[in-house]
Structure 1
Amino acid sequence: MCVCVCRAVARIAKPLCVCVCVCRYIGALGARVICDNIPGLVNKQRQLCQRHPDIMQSIGEGTKDWVRECQHQFRHHRWNCSTLDRDHTVFGRVLLRSSREAAFVYAISSAGVVYAITRACSQGDLKACNCDPHKRGRASDEHGDFDWGGCSDNIDYGIKFAKDFVDAKERSVKDARALMNLHNNRCGRMAVKRFLKLECKCHGVSGSCTLRTCWLAMSDFRKTGDFLRRKYNGAVEVTVTQDGTGFAVANKDFRKATKNDLVYFENSPDYCLMNKAAGSLGTAGRVCNRSSRGTDGCEVMCCGRGYDTTRVRRITKCECKFKWCCAVECKDCEEAVDIHTCKAPKRAEWQDQT
């Protein structure tokens, strides 16, 4: 089963997902055996896989983080970054379309690879890297001078390895989609670096902070997810220039895409109905908010089909009191809650889309 999943993901989605499979069996069978038998890898990826099995494992373990972040960012939208348990491509056929959803998935997954590798470096889990070796000596910021110390996150190594491994698949193909993927991959990588923060520890009598030791650390991955979500909202529809090396805006009335913008070629489906060809799961059965006028509202989420209401009983903690010392005691209260879910489309309407 592992080889099957890897074949589809490597060919259609992104080769980084191969690492989820690699890390499970690499100890038992050895890096060379596993990496040589994963269909879809280009030579450079196979070489990196064999050379750095510990990095492959870190990427595989980090995959759940960016998938979870993607689903958090789109939890209130028709397309909610759903994974498909029985679909070898993980996200279904949505990645076959050069849409802004595909652009986001490529960016957030590329960012996730950088984050996972950089974190593993700082934790001492990898043979090839550790803390940033360039953060040594004295430096200064708006608060004055400080000494580099602690363990600065080695994000440059994370970015370099992610670029070498993830981009290798796209660089082996010379077409418009590969150019789009490379651009969005870079956006994701640089989004992680954008949120590096300086953390310091004070030294001196009674915490006077006469001396400071500082290091650079990655922010929580949520900041990267929030940033890329905003980039998704402002993604630019483009076409490839005549020389095939860059992008031109599809609509001349809109601004040009910068290196930090997500780009896409095709409009997205509305994701209202199940459409296997477009990778749409539809919104039938999705929970919606009857009182909201936003994307999570029943009118928008259900695409005008209406919704069903089910009353359920829920146990919550209530009448909580602080008890000396030191506990909080609460009662269990039962309340009735209405859950609204989108109606399924009429059969004839559904058949038109499949």
Structure 2
Amino acid sequence: MHAVLVTVYLLLVTPYTTSWWAAGSELVMNPKQMCKRARRSKGKMAEICNKSRLLEHITTGIMLAQNECQYQFRHRRWNCTSSKKSIKKVMLRDTRETGFVNAIIAAGITFQVTRACTKGVIGCACDKRKNKRKNKRKKFLTPEQDWEWDGCVENIEFGIKKSKDFLDTRYKKRSDMKTLVKLHNYVAGRHAIKENMRKECKCHGLSGSCSMKSCIRKMPSFREIGNHLKERFDGAAKVIAGNDGQSFMPEGETIKPPSRFDLVYSEESPSFCLPNTTLGSFGTQGRECNETSPGEEGCGILCCGRGYHTYTKEVQKNCRCEFIYCCDVKCQTCNESVRISTCS
């Protein structure tokens, strides 16, 4: 899995050139090799590569993103497979799938680095927001409404900065269409966290009266971030190059220009119905499907109209469980027939 993360990272931060892949698999599979050149140079990438704890949490963020991508796409024809042969080809195109992967990777790095900062395992500044409500405003508030920020909150700006340093640095001097789309989706991934942070408060006062509250801003769970970006994926906007050569615009004149929160793409996705090594598609033959569902996991959609096979399989499950005082639960093991459908 570690090798897969390095592969995803290199796909994301390396310009889209086929010649790069001729460098060989050793660089792709070895994070130390990946940072060798950067450490000898100057700049933000060299700084990250020389900070092993920070690089460790960035790698963990990529792993988090990869796992969330596989969860969100588990029922789709392209299921965010971790195979480097597939994801390499998929990332060479500017499809909706590519946009989602770029966004979730940027979000994963931001999330993990911010969390590590909050826990104090990497050096970072404290985001202090004390006494946000000034005393002159308190006279208009009831005790139940009165609150103030409490100490250090999750420093999302630090996480965003390190995500930018790691992913965006190579593209600062480029303005081609692929770069513009990539950088936009990076931003959308980071904002999926920033714009969904929530306030959590604790009550203070005699006998739990809650006469005063102290509050902090916390990130949502990463599953919530993944759900949010999946919704953005479903409503992603197709864009074309702008007339100035340094921007993009919606493909249709009646389509609203995408905001920084939206995902964008410039190429239509393949169907992913059949195996195609050029497109990174493994096809959907043999994939399990739900014969009663009309959705993405349904046999009609997932199997691309080719039909499906159904068979029964015996599985063992706990049954006839009873509570034993105190404090145990004992169950028997029962065989159960399960109906399984797979795409033809």
For 1:164-183, what aligned pairs fall within 5 Å after superposition?
164-183=165-184
Distance 1:197 1:5, change over 3 A: closer
Q: Which has the higher contact order (CA 8 A, sep 6+)?
A: 2
Show CA shifts across 1:272-325 (max 9, x none). Answer: 011111111111111101111111111111112222223211111223333333
Pair 1:104 & 2:100 matched: yes
1:88-237 matches, within 5 Å, as 91-127=87-123, 129-132=124-127, 134-139=128-133, 144-149=145-150, 151-237=152-238
The CA RMSD measured in Å over matched residues stands at: 2.8
For the Cα contact (< 8 Å) 1:241–1:247, is it kept in 2? yes
Task: Tell me by how many angstroms 1:164 deviates.
Answer: 2.3
Change (3 A) 1:324 1:205: farther
**Is the Cα–Cα contact under 8 Å of residues 61 and 110 in structure 2 kept in the other structure?**
no
Partner of 2:36: 36
User: Structure 1: which amino acid aligns with 2:114?
Assistant: T
- 1:254 is displaced (CA, Å) by 2.6
In the aligned structure 2, how far is the partner of 1:20 from the partner of 1:188?
25
Q: Where does residue 80 of structure 1 map in the other structure? A: 79
User: What residue in structure 2 maps to residue 57 of structure 1?
Assistant: 56
Correspondence for 2:307? 306
**Taking structure 1 as reference, are residues 175 and 234 closer, same or farther at Cα in structure 2, changes over 3 Å only?**
same
In structure 1, C-alpha distance between the alignment counterparts of 2:283 and 2:240, rounded to whole Å: 28
1:280 is matched with 281
What per-residue deviation string (whole Å, max 9, x for no partner) do you get for residues 235-277 of structure 1? Answer: 0001010112222211223322222111100000000011111
Q: Give the 3 Å change call, closer, same or farther, for CA 34–9 of structure 1 in structure 2.
A: closer
Q: State the TM-score, normalized to the length of structure 2.
A: 0.85
1:45 shift after superposition = 4.6
What SS does the corresponding residue of 2:246 show, helix, strand or coil? coil
Q: Is the 8 A contact 1:83 1:92 kept in 2?
A: no
In the TM superposition, what are the counterparts of 1:7-46 in structure 2 within 5 Å?
9=8, 12-14=11-13, 21-22=30-31, 35-37=35-37, 44-46=43-45
325-334 or 114-123: bigger deviation: 325-334
Shift of 1:53: 2.6
| In structure 2, distance between residues paired with 1:113 and 1:310 | 42
Q: Is residue 271–residue 282 contact of structure 1 (8 Å, CA) maintained in 2?
A: yes
- How much has 1:90 moved relative to structure 2? 7.2
TM score, norm. by length of structure 1: 0.83
- Segments of structure 1 that go 5 or more residues without pairing to the other structure are 26-32, 344-354
The answer to whether the 8 A contact 1:42-1:172 is kept is no
Between the aligned partners of 1:237 and 1:159, the Cα distance in structure 2 is 26
Alpha carbons of structure 1 residues 5 and 186: separation in structure 2 relative to 1, 3 Å? closer
Distance in 2 between residues matched to 1:49 and 1:165, nearest whole Å: 7
Q: What is the aligned partner in structure 1 of residue 24 from structure 2? A: none
**8 A Cα contact 2:78 2:281, kept in partner:** yes
Q: Tell me, in whole angstroms, the C-alpha distance in 2 between the residues paired with 1:237 and 1:45.
A: 32
**Contact 1:311 1:339 survives alignment (8 Å):** yes
Q: What is the number of residues matched between the two proteins?
A: 324
Structure 1 equivalent of residue 263 of structure 2: 262
Equivalent pairs: percent with the same residue? 37
